[in-house]
Structure 1
Amino acid sequence: MLSDFFYPQPGGVELHIYHLSQKLIERGHSVVVITHAYGDRTGVRTLTNGLKVYYVPFAVLYREATFPSVFSAFPILRNIYIREKISIVHGHGTFSSLCHEGIFHANTMGLKTVFTDHSLFGFADVGSILGNKLLKFTLSDIDHVICVSHTCKENTVLRATIDPTRVSVIPNAVIAEDFQPAQKPPSTDHITVVVMSRLFQNKGADLLTALIPRVCSKIPYLNFLIAGDGPKFIDLEQMREQYQLQDRVELIGSVKHEEVRDVMIQGHIYLHASLTEAFGTVLVEAASCGLLVVTTKVGGIPEVLPSQMTVFANPDEDSLVDALTEAVASIKEGTIDTSRFHGRIKDMYDWGDVAARTESVYRAIDAQDKPDLLTRLVGHYECGLFAGKLFVLCVVVDIFLWTLLEWWYPGDSIEIVKKWPRKKRNGMKKFQI
């Protein structure tokens, strides 16, 4: 598993990689995670069930994404791939430079590759155009792609101009036992709205800053509990000071994932004002805790929860105010029974099912042959008039670098690590991921 985004940073991609890895280990496979160093967390760490994590000291550029160097990571990634006898490299995250580089080098080494897209992106602004071209470079030579929603699949297919038959939809999941509702639901004398999100513009932090004063003036018994951190945190603090809402808006900052349930069960409603979202695992967690979800109708969000658990709004201030007012009225009047939400979520989302479906993808690509060099070069060449030639040059340079590394430090001289002991399942091929 390869991504810039992993523990100790909290987030949907981080959780996905961890829980999927754990379930694949339970199914008999050997899984290794490669990410960049987080502060003093560097080197090799072993997590639950023998999940090994390589925290490699790469330079971080922006929002925990490493500097895109194209070739500099090849020596250490090659060393890890050979040491761990990796057969499949599974990258996560469009914005992860380490993910793209790791897949690129793995293809050069003849390993099978999979990419999971967790996000939605546009087509018009400069950042999206460059990101989409990078994605096209990576996916033109990928064995299979996984998306977390059907909307995400459509977006990825259009952005990377990839054959839809090479893309599967496998959603996120939650461990429902970790998100049990409160034994004694909070009193409805005061309604508490929980917000748990990274406080960035694309997550709707500006909408939160605008709508909270309006809703508080409209509904005197409404309080907000906001967890999360980011550049928009100071805007929320200033809003709270300006409108003197210190006793009604609590800002608790970033919370650890194991503390999410403790925050959730203090509320009645979960508010998600995101402007773009491929899936939204936090929505499932909130519903599992027995909260009514108020969310914007964007991206893959409408696919996540049944309509009985959600109140949808457009991604604008007025619509969110109306939706939140409707949800508060439903909770206050008792017209929605949220006590049944947990049981339904438990039946709908399970990491064991996600792992089984991902394993099916691994077995399918394992039965296929890797394309020859000419096919790879043609695929990259067709990525654009100018970009295609640049991509072909990158492939040629990478092959030359691999040949140089094999001469300088032969793969046969790299010590193979001893795997974590575990029982083997008979009759099933085991993958090193």
Structure 2
Amino acid sequence: MDEPQRHRILMVSDFFYPNFGGVESHIYYLSQCLIKLGHKVVVTTHAYGNRSGVRYMTGGLKVYYIPWRPFLMQNTLPTFYGTLPIIRTILIRERISVVHGHQAFSTLCHEALMHARTMGYKAVFTDHSLYRFADVGSIHMNKVLQFTLADIDQAICVSHTSKENTVLRSGIDPEKVFVIPNAVDTAMFTPAPKRLCYDEIVIVVISRLVYRKGADLLVEVIPEVCRLNPNVRFVIGGDGLKRVRLEEMREKYSLQDRVEMLGAVPHAQVRSVLVSGHIFLNSSLTEAFCIAILEAASCGLLTVSTRVGGVPEVLPDDMIVLAEPTPVDMTRAIKEAIEMLPNINPQAMHDRVKKLYSWQDVAKRTEVVYDRALLCSDVSLLQRLPRYLKCGPWAGKLFCLVMMINFWLWQLLQFWQPSKSIEEVPDILILENEDNEICGKLRMP
């Protein structure tokens, strides 16, 4: 009996462990579940400190930390063609069939997808964020996304709002875009063993303290909530440029005993911070999905969040209180949430999240996307160039020139170092035995 089709996937992004965030968690958990389904998964990211070269993570997940250093906000400096030799080598060594890039802001993602399409590999892209249309930074980013998605096989968005945003920004055919939400590891995020009393209401904030995450909104909301509710206390975990403003607010209103600043919270300690509270507060000004809300709900916390992006799609109405991103409406929502607390059952909330979201389901749905990508017909460079010309009268010509140069450099590399001279590595197939113990099986190419 023939084995089911197995994919060999290269996940590429500037955002991965040891850095922690929504994109990093998504790549890690998705990769682990795909490995358990029998697929080969390799991750490529840039070096983090002294973490360079090849590393192995849980489940046999292989990670290439290529020797590029972050330039801005964990992103590598754009080189266009500098990453071609190393990406080509990884693709050949690991016998990759699908290249899966993550996050529109990732330079390494865009370059890897460009090289993959040049070499004839199937390419899939996942967009994790929402972007605007008017400011200078978003205009440039949208043009880069238009270039990358002009020749992509399939794309994934984490919410329907994110899909609409991506389609409008890039002009990609909506039929190519799948909506697959994030998930949460409910085994890690569990409620406290004992239900907390309500003599003191603890509101937890765990977020990067930057403008996009609504840190300025917190500066206005927290003093007003503390004034109206003497028994409310805030616990704020996270770091960022706006942390100074929050500390100044705490000093100005003498809230040192009611606003606790934890600083950056390691991912392993997030659950312990969450279960110390009753309400989780998300003040983001833009979100495609927000995994933090799922983690809080899985720990049994009632969520108060701004009504932005894909947040309204995440939880049922009785598990979240939504508000417009204004101090007045956020204060109103927190008051409403406090009144709802006696009716909240943390364990029941955890069980509902467990049924709604699982990484196993995300992995199986992503398998379908890979299957669809492999069914896409192979096209030559000349057949692909018209796709770039549609990107604009000037940009289209520039994109065509970029791709032609990339093709010529690839041909030069093929001559200088033929593919057959690059040694292929054996696959390690991770299996589970009857006792759910992980065991490895070496499979030679």
Q: Structure 2 stretches of 5 or more lacking a match?
A: 1-10, 433-445
Q: Secondary structure at the match of 1:179?
A: coil
Could you tell me how far apart the structure 1 residues matched to 2:375 and 2:343 are?
Answer: 53
CA distance in 1, matches of 2:368, 2:82: 33
Residue of 129, 144, 147 corresponding to 1:119: 129
Q: Does the alignment pair 1:45 with 2:66?
A: no
Alignment of 1:90 with 2:97, yes or no, is no
User: Which structure 2 residues correspond to residues 280-359 of structure 1 after superposition, within 5 A?
Assistant: 280-331=290-341, 334-359=342-367
Query: How far apart are the structure 1 equivalents of 2:270 and 2:343?
Result: 26
Task: Confirm whether residue 410 of structure 1 aligns to residue 435 of structure 2.
Answer: no
Q: Does structure 1 residue 147 correspond to structure 2 residue 141? A: no
Cα displacement string for residues 22-58 of structure 1 (whole angstroms, at most 9, x for unaligned residues):
0000011110000011111111110011100111121
User: C-alpha deviations, 1:128-172, integer Å up to 9, x for none?
Assistant: 110000000000000000000000000000000111000000000
Contact persistence 2:306–2:330 (CA under 8 A): yes
Residue identity in the other structure for 1:163: D
> Does the aligned pair in 1 maintain the 2:298–2:354 contact within 8 Å?
yes
In structure 1, the partner of 2:435 is: none
> How do 1:142-221 and structure 2 match up within 5 A?
142-221=152-231
Task: Tell me the C-alpha RMSD between the 2 structures.
Answer: 1.3
Q: Distance in 2 between matches of 1:402 and 1:92?
A: 23
- Distance in 1 (CA, whole Å) between partners of 2:174 and 2:324 is 29
Name the count of aligned residue pairs.
423
Does 92-101 or 409-418 show the bigger shift? 409-418
SS for the counterpart of 1:363 is helix
Q: How far did residue 259 of structure 1 move?
A: 1.3
In percent, how many aligned pairs have the same letter?
55
Which region of structure 1 is more displaced relative to structure 2, 215-224 or 140-149? 215-224
Instruction: Supply the AA of the counterpart residue of 2:389.
Output: Y
**Does the 8 Å CA contact 2:185/2:359 hold for their aligned counterparts?**
yes
Read off the aligned partner of 2:385 and give its amino acid letter.
Answer: L
Corresponding residue of 2:245: 235
**Could you tell me how far apart the structure 2 residues matched to 1:57 and 1:222 are?**
48
User: Corresponding residue for 1:429?
Assistant: none
Higher relative contact order (CA 8 A, sep 6+): 1
> Which runs of 4 or more aligned residues in structure 1 lie more than 6 Å from their structure 2 counterparts after TM superposition?
none
How many Å apart are 1:370 and its aligned residue?
2.1
Question: What's the TM-score, normalizing by structure 2?
Answer: 0.93
**Structure 1 CA distance for aligned equivalents of residues 226 and 146 of structure 2:** 46
Which of the residues 380, 385, 392 maps onto 1:384? Answer: 392
Q: In the alignment, which residue of structure 1 is the partner of 2:383?
A: 375
Determine the structure 2 residue equivalent to 1:401. 409
Question: What's the CA shift string for 1:166-192, capped at 9, x where partnerless?
Answer: 000000001111111001122211000
Which residue is 1:258 aligned to?
A: 268
Specify the SS of the correspondent of 1:389: helix
Q: Are positions 1:419 and 2:438 aligned together?
A: no
Q: 1:247 aligns with which of 240, 257, 263?
A: 257
Normalising by structure 1, report the TM-score.
0.96
Runs (5+) with no aligned partner, structure 1? 425-433
In 2, Cα distance between equivalents of 1:39 and 1:242? 38
Question: By how many angstroms is 1:418 displaced?
Answer: 2.0
CA distance in 1 between partners of 2:345 and 2:374 (Å) = 47
Task: Please identify which structure carries the higher strand content.
Answer: 2
